[in-house]
Amino acid sequence: MRLISLQEAAARARETLVRFPLVLFAACVAAGYALALVGHSGDDTPRLRGLLAALLGLPLLTAVATTGERAGWRRATRTLVGLTALLLPVGFWWASGTWTETTRTLRFAQLSVALHLLAATLPYLGTTAQRGFWQYNRIQFLRFLTAALFAGVLFGGLAIALLAIDNLFGVRVDEDWYARMWIVIGLVFHPWFFLGGLPRDLNALEAREDYPGGIKVFAQFILIPVVTVYLMILTAYLVRVLVTRTWPSGWIGYLVSSVAAAGTLALLLVHPVRERSDSRWVDNYGRWFYVALLPSIAMLLMAIWLRVDQYGLTEPRYFLTIVALWLAGIALYYGFTGSRNIRVIPTTLGALALLTFVGPWSAYSVSRLSQLTRLRHLLRGHEMLTESRLQPPAGEVGFEARREMSAVLRYLIDTHGASSLGRIAAALRQAAEVALRADAPARATDHPAAHAVMDRIGVAYVERWQETPEGQVSYFADLSQQAVPLDGYEWLGRLDLVARVDLPLGPDTLAFAPQTAPSRTVVSLRGRPILEISHDSLLVQARTAMTTTPAGGKGRPLPLTIDAEGEGLRLRLLVSAVSGRGAGATAELHSSDALVLLRLSPEPR
């Protein structure tokens, strides 16, 4: 029986290879590029580009192959169409050579979503088969999960076997072999097994009425109740927004999107039972869910508008806007027509993903234009840009304006490259390109290129860590490459002002004890309090340092200095990191890191 099972498995594997030769070719190419990345120490970009392009070929070529089978194309026709479809991943590989890492990742994710939706819908394009469409995607989904389970078990078993060989027989197994094994299993075995379970006769699926009980229980009695609870929370929050007349929280987009996605998934899963007499409530729920979702979508659009109005468009905000508008359209369509056509959801979403991928209306072109316009407005507002000529600012540039300029520069350089700055002024592009060169000297900053551009326009750069929410303080100064002058002090120690620290000083002990109401640190010598360090004063000093030019605007931030004297003690704190919130009696110090310089005076006789 074992021999028969092996023969049958080999026969099915050959059959799958014959059905999907181009898909498995793309899988092998992806595995080859991924294997080349393991242990590689040089520039990984060419290999990574090849891997991403090959991964895009998997859903695309699967869609072409299954559509050809359903349409009855001859093998030669299917092969020709498949080879033509390969132009898309090849084009992605070629174009990605000029993209930044951020743009390459975003474009891959967007195109991957579009192609997976294409694989789900293309075989049924131009048909009215609702039940067959649901059964086909249900089979795909469960087959994918089964393949993932088998791949995980296979990898786990083989990994334990290699570990046993390593430990029992003393045969050294390099760690890279585990990665290589996972790549082969994940990129060759998994798609091969998945494709082997795809049905050949898609027309026959329209007559199938089987419905897994597990899916029904999960969707009707777990997913739908959870979605309902969160929808009620969103509605209550909307009422609070209207009563208090406050703008919605920024993270409301994630919650609304998650609720909409979970609710849509639940309705897709229960689609076959919507016409059954014992589940009529599911059909009503499917219609009124989208009606109830409309107020939350309106609230989401309000939050998006506020964010875009303040900071302009970026790719994530563009996609969130598109998804919100798409959700509004879907909610209106299903809520007011009562339609049960589930193909509208993946078809329209996939079309939007493709439509916003390229062109002047794409996420990348629109976002780049938005941020370039924002940067021009900031520069011209301070008389720093006349046509394409840069000049020193007419007056002092405030912290908020410098923070916005720094953030825009980081975005443009990371997402669209230094060349995008050439649309404003060639000098900006040149400054960024010089800083991005491999032989450029390192500097203590979170973004050397953006820092160099800010230096070029004569304005102090604002680090990411300086961008804290209102009322909060977060300051950091790197002391690792700075010499600390002793100035006659005898002792050097390290402490955190929010934790008790006992520093032995010869026969004596100096104790630092944090206190509340008011927030402070009490310093005691020989068990007697001799001075206090106000946390509020430290936070005020840190807040001032955050909004002023560090070291003339071009050097690294300097540590905060606090000098204090008490009975028999002279103390200097060099605070390199501090975070907290509030002021005055409500000041709260959350953490700190400081060097303390100490000098003891002899006791009076």
Q: How confident is the model over 143-192, as pLDDT tens digits?
A: 999 999 999 999 999 999 999 988 888 788 888 999 999 999 999 999 99
| Predicted pLDDT of residue 347 | 95
Tokens, residue 150: 């088998």
Residue 551 confidence class, pLDDT cut points 50, 70, 90: very low
| Predicted pLDDT of residue 286 | 79
Domain end call among 180, 207, 234: 207
Residue 2 pLDDT greater than 50, yes or no: no
In a domain, 87, yes or no: yes
Residues 6+ apart with CB under 8 A from 377: none
**Taking the complete model, does pTM exceed 0.85, yes or no?**
no
* β 569-581/588-600 pair status: antiparallel
In a domain, 605, yes or no: no
In a domain, 569, yes or no: yes
DSSP 214-231: HHHHHIIIIIHHHHHHHH
Buried b (16+ CB within 10 A) or exposed e, 171-181: eebeeeebeee
Question: Which residue do the tokens 């229960």 mark?
Answer: 270
In a domain, 567, yes or no: yes
Considering the domain architecture, whether residues 450 and 510 belong to the same structural domain is answered as: no
Could you list the residue range(s) of the whole structural domain that residue 153 is in?
2-207
Question: Which residue do the tokens 């192959």 mark?
Answer: 65
Domain end call among 466, 493, 514: 466
| DSSP 8-state assignment for residue 476 | E
Query: Do residues 212 and 143 touch, judged by C-beta distance below 8 A?
Result: no
Low-confidence winner among 54-68, 221-235, 295-309, 461-475 (lowest mean pLDDT):
461-475
Considering the domain architecture, whether residues 240 and 180 belong to the same structural domain is answered as: no
CA distance 595 to 72: 77
In a domain, 77, yes or no: yes
In a domain, 326, yes or no: yes
Residue 270 pLDDT greater than 70, yes or no: yes
Can you list the alpha helix ranges (DSSP code H) found in 312-419? Answer: 315-337, 344-355, 363-381, 399-416
SS3 41: coil
User: 3-state SS string over 251-298?
Assistant: CHHHHHHHHHHHHHHHHHHCHHHCCCHHHHHHHHHHHHHHHHHHHHHH
Residue 1 confidence class, pLDDT cut points 50, 70, 90: very low
What is the torsional sign of CA 542, 544, 548, 552? negative
Q: Please classify residue 108 by burial: count the beta carbons closer than 10 Å to its beta carbon, then call 0-12 exposed, 13-18 middle and 19+ buried.
A: buried
Tokens, residue 272: 């076959």
CA distance 579 to 575: 11
Each residue's pLDDT tens digit, 387-432 = 888 888 888 888 889 999 999 999 999 999 999 999 999 999 999 9
| Predicted pLDDT of residue 149 | 97
CA distance 310 to 466: 18
| Predicted pLDDT of residue 552 | 39
Considering the domain architecture, whether residues 381 and 433 belong to the same structural domain is answered as: yes
Residue 36 pLDDT greater than 70, yes or no: yes
Overall domain count for the chain: 4
**Whats the size of the chain, residue-wise?**
605
Considering the domain architecture, whether residues 461 and 376 belong to the same structural domain is answered as: yes
What is the chain's mean pLDDT, rounded?
A: 88
Residues 6+ apart with CB under 8 A from 505: 491, 598, 600
Query: Do residues 174 and 120 touch, judged by C-beta distance below 8 A?
Result: no
Nearest to 37 by CA among 23, 54, 20, 21: 54
Considering the domain architecture, whether residues 293 and 234 belong to the same structural domain is answered as: yes
Considering the domain architecture, whether residues 221 and 157 belong to the same structural domain is answered as: no
Each residue's pLDDT tens digit, 438-456 = 777 776 678 999 999 999 9
Angle between helices 87-95 and 101-121 (to 10 degrees): 170
Considering the domain architecture, whether residues 406 and 429 belong to the same structural domain is answered as: yes
Tokens, residue 287: 């219609």
